Each structure stands twice: as structure tokens, then as C-alpha cells.
Structure 1
Amino acid sequence: MKKLFLLLSLTLSCQSVDHEKPATASETTQPAEAPPVDLTLAEANRLVALPLKCMQNEFPNKPSETLESEADLQPPSVVHPAFYGCFDWHSSVHGHWMLVHLLKQFPNLDRAEEIREKLQANLSADNIQQELVYFTKDVNKSYERTYGWAWLLKLEEELKRWEEPWAQQLAKNLQPLADLLVVRYLDFLPKLNYPIRVGEHTNTAFGLTFAWDYAEATGQTALQELIAQRAKDFYGADAGCPLNWEPSGYDFLSPCLEEADLMRRVLPEAEFQTWLGQFLPQLSDPNFTLEPGKVSDRTDGKLVHLDGLNFSRAWCLLGIAQTLPDYAHLKPIAYEHIRHSLPNIVDGAYEGEHWLASFAIYALSTAEQNQPSS
């Protein structure tokens, strides 16, 4: 079984708020070839507890619904029987992705049977059909565009890549909703005249990145070609992205780095290296540093977004390093971002526990791709 790798000098159980001290240049600039440390089964068991805690917990809930009439005033579990937990629809979706991903990596998780049972209960054909009914209403045409769409496709991609018969059945159940969202992308992207360059859900580059991965994995040629064209339209001439303006107070995505994460997918390697040299020239400097985002209050649901920023920055930096070997010096910066936030997402008083574990796991999975095979 492949292991997830992460450069961690401390374990999850012994971290404290001392991590909020600003990182010095000497702390941030680490040897690119420092030995990795495994993400252990014990740590995986710790993380899976978070989505399991909320995936069938209906309240509190932030529905973000558009109501056509009083008849639409229904409990979340009726409106979204598959994805009603974990505070909001998209967090529920990527919580499901995380459970599928970790169960594939660690079949012997302590709560493996519970995970399978909950996934099968939530992702039943009937439940997905009800989700489809919701999405096909005209008033919901832009619901979860494009952040939730992207995570739904990532979940379907993960299920399709797993040969377990029960996982293949869940992928079959989910396929009609994934198909609808592909159509939604194909309809929406030609109409989007300008990209959305923010650090939260509506970031266009992030929404296109996961959609590209799904299209590539499933042979959705039309979607892949459209994403490539739109990415070039939106970002091809960009230069000098002001990374020093980041982060904003509520960011969980880096506008600059998410753009680079998309462009490394759609451009040939040599073309991407030229583009990146113009877009973020400072990244090529072996002495480049980037301080992790600091959270002042982890009981505040918006301020805690910055932990998500640290994880998403990490997967973007690692992706660049994976694509361009000359940028290997970005790896220790990515690992430091993960190390800064990871220990804090297991605290029961943590406001981001309904979604941030999945960000951590996606960052760790990207880290694993940057390590030699064992």
C-alpha cells in the first residue's frame, strides 16, 4: 500500500498555539531532500473522525437555498438527502471524498465498516436522484457554482478509480449528478467573460482545476478542451501576480497559486515554465520564502479559513514542484504550511472541523506524489 508522506517534525498530539509564532527565514527554508515522515494509520484514524462526526448530523446547517415558495421550506435532509450534513452542501461532499480516499489508502481504519455503511447510505441511488431533482430546477441552476461542482466531480473521480464493487456501485449512483454538472460547466464557461479572482469558494481557477482532473480521468474530451481554452483566455497573458497582497482575512485559497495550479495542467511543461516565470518570478529563487497564514481565533468560522489556505497553498506549491524539477525548493515551504495547521484540526472546539480535514488530506495526497515510491 502506498503511503502518504509529509515532512513533519512534530506529531499531531503534541502541538500547541506556539505554531502561531511567525516563521523566520531559517525556519521556512529547509533542505529540499529532508527525510519524509509517514502519515500513520493512527493519524488517519484521528482525521476520519471529523467527517464521520458530521456527515449525518443535520444541524447546524447553512443551506444557501433559493426558495420559490413555502413548499421549499423543508429540512436539509429532505432537500439534500445525500449531502445534508457537515454544515453545508459542499463541505459534506468533500467530507465524503475524504472518507473514500482514506479508506482506499488505509483499508484497516478502525472505523472502516462504519465509513462504508455511511457512504452507502448517503450515496444511494434514491438519494442521488433527489439531489438531481433539486439541481434540475431552473432556480438552482447556479447552486454551488463552481466550488461544489468541482468537489462533486472529485468525489466521482475518486470512486471511479476504486475497483471495489461497492465503490463502483456508488460511482454508478453518483454518475447522473456528475453528468449534469459536466453539462453545467459546458454551458457556463463560454458565458464567463472574466475570471473570478478571490480566495474563497467562487475562485474560477480552483473550480476549473478539479473539473480538469475529472475530465482527464474519465475521457470528457469536450470539457477538457473547453477548460484549457478558457484557462488560456483568462490567464494566459497574466504577469506579476501580487503574491505579497495575500492572504486576505478570510482566504482559504490563494488567487495567485490556484491560477498556477490550473495552468500547470493545461500548458505543456516548457510553456508552463515560461508562463510561471512571468506570472510569479519570485518562485524560481531558491531562497524564496512564504510565511504560513496565521489564525488568531480558531473558534471563528471565517478566520479559520486561513488554515485551509495553508493546506491549499501546500498542494499548489507541491504541484508546481512536481511539474517543474527546478522548483523543488518549494517543497519544504509547502510542508511547513501543512505542519503549521494540521495539528490544530483535531481540537473539539475547532470551528473548521466540518471541512478542513479534507483539505489536509488533499494536501497530504499531493505531498505523497512528490516522494519516491517505497
Structure 2
Amino acid sequence: MKNILPVLLLVFVLGCKGEDRLKSENGNSSQDSAAGSVLSIDALLSEDRVEMNLEEANKLANLPLACLNTQYPNKLGQTLGSEKDLLSPIDLHPAFYGCFDWHSSVHAHWSLVRLLKRYPKLEKASEIKEKLESSLTKENIAKEMEYFSKEHNLDYERTYGWAWLLKLSEELYTWDTDMGAELSANIKPLADLIEQRFADFLPKLNYPIRVGEHTNTAFALSFAYDYAVVTENEEFRALIEKRARDFYLTDKECPITWEPSGFDFLSPCLEEIDIMRKVIPKAAFSLWLDKFMPQLKKPDFALVPGEVSDRKDGKLVHLDGLNFSRARVFYGLMNQYPNDFAHLRKLGDQHVNHSFSNLVDDSYEGGHWLGSFAIYALEESKKAR
């Protein structure tokens, strides 16, 4: 019954809006009129594909390794309760003090775990294991929990850092080794705390946050949903499904041609699609997409990658992250519904190719975090190979 209700609702909501769908199918969508926003299929086909393999994994592993224990520069993003809170990053966050900010440190750890699991013969496998064991101790995680539990830190890293912490916990949970089991057990209390933060916050959020940066609600819901599924937490999964439907089920005509904004590393339109493909069944999702972004179904759908003008500007370099996160969504759709979205592979490849060459020897502004986004996109791409 649960799976039928979204379909019935969508039929009711979408069925009386047929003229808008016809308008889009007749080529009058706003995307068609946006100058410079469409590339030819020939251009897409001419792109070479970046392959995720041991060689590339070795290069990508160097990015988090280079920053994991780099304490400064550091953006703490904290609210001071008193002068007692004026401590160094490593004293405040003994597990996640490197890589410029807390959330980047978390997904740097995720990157190393993911790469080590997929490529156990990494050149620096021993160094990676040593770093993971050194940072993800019970004592360090307890100190992180202490920080989160202080009066002024209840919303710390809401919701982007929360989402990445659950993604790291998910990665450790599925690492079938003694080390994986140990580190998973170490981090579980913090994951439980973050899960509770989500459970407390989501019912109070009356409106989703539709931006291209850290506070994007759809991105957080998508990562949290994956964690709930893998850990078989049905109550948490049900909450995420409910809030995603509450927020997005009646959305329509997402203005993809307004994207990107200058500091985006997430696509508001595509992140919403990513969570909705997970929480409603295929028929309902297809109907929903017809109203939300029907042009995505067209074989000639195209989207120009974001252009970075200054790689030393930490905000402007976000656009490389946008290219990787767009590709992740394209590949995810293709993997779930290959008969409907196979054409998105070339578009995903184009976005990855556009930014991938920037990763090696990149400035710290990009190098401390972009590798995680590239790894995730490439791993999604590889699933369908």
C-alpha cells in the first residue's frame, strides 16, 4: 500500500497539468532558449572517458593523505560559548581536524576507506591504515561527541557534515575486515548521535533548503537514506522517505537554466532528483520527473560544465565540485534505470573530464576536498561497466 500511494497522488497532481507537459515536449522549454547551455551530441561523444583504476586510485589517495593531518589553515565554523572554547583545531576535533574544515576531514577519511576497500594494493595502503587507526579511535570519537553535545553546537555541521559522517560510517560498516569492524564500532556512537540530530531536526524543517552549497536538504537526505538502507534502520529510512515526499512531491519546472550559481558545488535540481529516485517507485518517479524536469529524459539533453576562473579562490573552485556532483547524479540515474537514462553516461563523462585534470597538483583550496567528489562520481560510473 505504501508504494501505491505516491503513484495515486502523482496521477492526481500531474494528470490535470498535461498542457505544461505538451509545451515542454513541443520544444518550448526554458532550457531550449538559454543561450550557450546546450552542447551537441557529437561534442559529447568526442570526450574520452576517465577510468577508475589502481593508477588513478593511487593519485587520488594522495589528496586526502596530504591534508588529513594538516591543521592550518583551518575554518572552524564554531560558536564560542566562552573563552574556554578558544582551542586549537586538533584539541577541538582530534579525529577530524585536518583538511581545512570538519566536513572536509570527514569525507577525506571516507575517500581513504573507499579507495582502500576497492583497491587493497594501493601503494600507500599501510600509511592509510595507520592514519585511519590513529584518528578514528574510541577516545577521539568520544571527544568529537563531547563537542557536538555542547549547548552552542547542537546545529554544528547541519546538515552537510552530518550527511558525510553517516556516509563514512556506512563505508566502515560495509568494510568486511577486522579493521573495518573495529573502526565501525568506534565511530558508531557519533553516527548514532548524528542520526538523532536528523530525527530531531527534520520534523521541524517546514521548508527544504534549495541551494547549491552545504545546507542543501536533498543532498543530506540522499546520503542519510543510503545509510539507513545499508544499516537496515527502517524507522530512520521511513522518516527520510516521508520528509523527501513532503518537501518535493509536488515540485515542478525546476529552473535548471538558472544553474549554476557562482559558488555552487551541488545542483539544486539534480540533488532533488537524486533523492526522489530513491524514495518513490519507478512509475511514480517517471510521472514526477515529467513535471519537474522532463528534458532530462530526452536523448539530446545537455548541460555545460561549470567553469572555474580562479583555482586559488576557495569559493570559485566549488564549480569543479559541481561538475563531479552532477556526474554522480547522472550516473546514479543511469545505474538505476539504464533503459531510460543511458544517454546520461556521456554527459556524466563530460562533466568528470572537464574537472578531473585539475585535481593533481591542485591548490589547497580545491585539493583538500575535491578528490572525494571525483571518487564518488567515478565509482558510480564504474557500477554500470
TM-score surpassing 0.5?
yes
- Equivalent AA in structure 1 for residue 347 of structure 2: I
How far apart in 1 are the matches of 2:55 and 2:90?
A: 32
How far apart in 1 are the matches of 2:234 and 2:120?
A: 33
The equivalent position to 2:81 in structure 1, one of 35, 43, 68, is 68
Match runs of 1:132-147 below 5 Å: 132-147=145-160
- Residue of structure 2 equivalent to 1:30: 45
- Residue of structure 1 equivalent to 2:33: none
- Residue of structure 2 equivalent to 1:345: 359
- Equivalent AA in structure 2 for residue 246 of structure 1: E
Task: After TM superposition, give the deviation of residue 323 of structure 1 in Å.
Answer: 2.2
- Residue of structure 2 equivalent to 1:287: 300
- Equivalent AA in structure 1 for residue 201 of structure 2: F
Match runs of 1:77-88 below 5 Å: 77-88=90-101
- Residues 1:366 and 2:366 are matched in the alignment: no
- Equivalent AA in structure 1 for residue 112 of structure 2: L
How far apart in 2 are the matches of 1:295 and 1:36?
A: 21
How far apart in 1 are the matches of 2:313 and 2:244?
A: 34
The equivalent position to 1:167 in structure 2, one of 174, 180, 188, is 180
- Residues 1:242 and 2:255 are matched in the alignment: yes
- Equivalent AA in structure 1 for residue 298 of structure 2: D
- Closer/same/farther in 2, CA of residues 203 and 184 from structure 1, 3 Å limit: same
How far apart in 2 are the matches of 1:349 and 1:225?
A: 41
Instruction: Report which of the two structures shows the higher radius of gyration computed on alpha carbons.
Output: 2
The equivalent position to 1:127 in structure 2, one of 117, 120, 140, is 140
- Residue of structure 1 equivalent to 2:312: 299
The equivalent position to 1:328 in structure 2, one of 334, 342, 345, is 342
Runs of at least 5 residues in structure 1 that lack an aligned partner in the other structure = 1-20
How far apart in 2 are the matches of 1:74 and 1:116?
A: 28
- Equivalent AA in structure 1 for residue 194 of structure 2: L
How far apart in 2 are the matches of 1:64 and 1:156?
A: 23
- Equivalent AA in structure 2 for residue 345 of structure 1: L
Task: After TM superposition, give the deviation of residue 276 of structure 1 in Å.
Answer: 1.1
How far apart in 2 are the matches of 1:218 and 1:348?
A: 36
- Secondary structure in structure 1 of the residue aligned to 2:358: helix
- Closer/same/farther in 2, CA of residues 38 and 191 from structure 1, 3 Å limit: same
- Equivalent AA in structure 2 for residue 79 of structure 1: L
Task: After TM superposition, give the deviation of residue 321 of structure 1 in Å.
Answer: 1.7
Question: 2:94·2:140 contact (CA, 8 Å) conserved in 1?
Answer: yes
- Equivalent AA in structure 2 for residue 30 of structure 1: L
Task: After TM superposition, give the deviation of residue 27 of structure 1 in Å.
Answer: 4.7
Match runs of 1:145-294 below 5 Å: 145-294=158-307
Task: After TM superposition, give the deviation of residue 65 of structure 1 in Å.
Answer: 0.7
The equivalent position to 2:371 in structure 1, one of 357, 360, 363, is 357
Task: After TM superposition, give the deviation of residue 221 of structure 1 in Å.
Answer: 1.2
Task: After TM superposition, give the deviation of residue 326 of structure 1 in Å.
Answer: 1.2
- Secondary structure in structure 1 of the residue aligned to 2:366: coil
How far apart in 1 are the matches of 2:196 and 2:364?
A: 37
- Secondary structure in structure 2 of the residue aligned to 1:196: coil
Task: After TM superposition, give the deviation of residue 320 of structure 1 in Å.
Answer: 1.5
Kindly provide the CA deviation profile for residues 191-219 of structure 1, in whole angstroms up to 9, marking residues without a partner as x. Answer: 00000000000000001000000001001
Number of equivalences: 349
Task: After TM superposition, give the deviation of residue 348 of structure 1 in Å.
Answer: 4.0
- TM-score of the aligned structures, taking structure 1 as reference length: 0.90
How far apart in 1 are the matches of 2:133 and 2:62?
A: 17
Question: 2:64·2:109 contact (CA, 8 Å) conserved in 1?
Answer: yes
Match runs of 1:13-24 below 5 Å: 24=39
How far apart in 1 are the matches of 2:179 and 2:228?
A: 23
- Closer/same/farther in 2, CA of residues 326 and 118 from structure 1, 3 Å limit: same
- Closer/same/farther in 2, CA of residues 159 and 71 from structure 1, 3 Å limit: same
- Residue of structure 2 equivalent to 1:6: none
Task: After TM superposition, give the deviation of residue 138 of structure 1 in Å.
Answer: 2.1
Question: 1:28·1:291 contact (CA, 8 Å) conserved in 2?
Answer: no
Question: 2:207·2:247 contact (CA, 8 Å) conserved in 1?
Answer: yes
Task: After TM superposition, give the deviation of residue 347 of structure 1 in Å.
Answer: 2.1
- Residues 1:92 and 2:105 are matched in the alignment: yes
How far apart in 2 are the matches of 1:24 and 1:143?
A: 41
- Secondary structure in structure 2 of the residue aligned to 1:346: coil
Question: 2:50·2:349 contact (CA, 8 Å) conserved in 1?
Answer: no
- Residue of structure 2 equivalent to 1:39: 52
Question: 2:172·2:181 contact (CA, 8 Å) conserved in 1?
Answer: yes
How far apart in 1 are the matches of 2:348 and 2:270?
A: 12
Q: Over the residues paired in the alignment, what is the CA RMSD in angstroms?
A: 1.7
- Equivalent AA in structure 1 for residue 57 of structure 2: A
Runs of at least 5 residues in structure 2 that lack an aligned partner in the other structure = 1-35
How far apart in 1 are the matches of 2:141 and 2:364?
A: 30
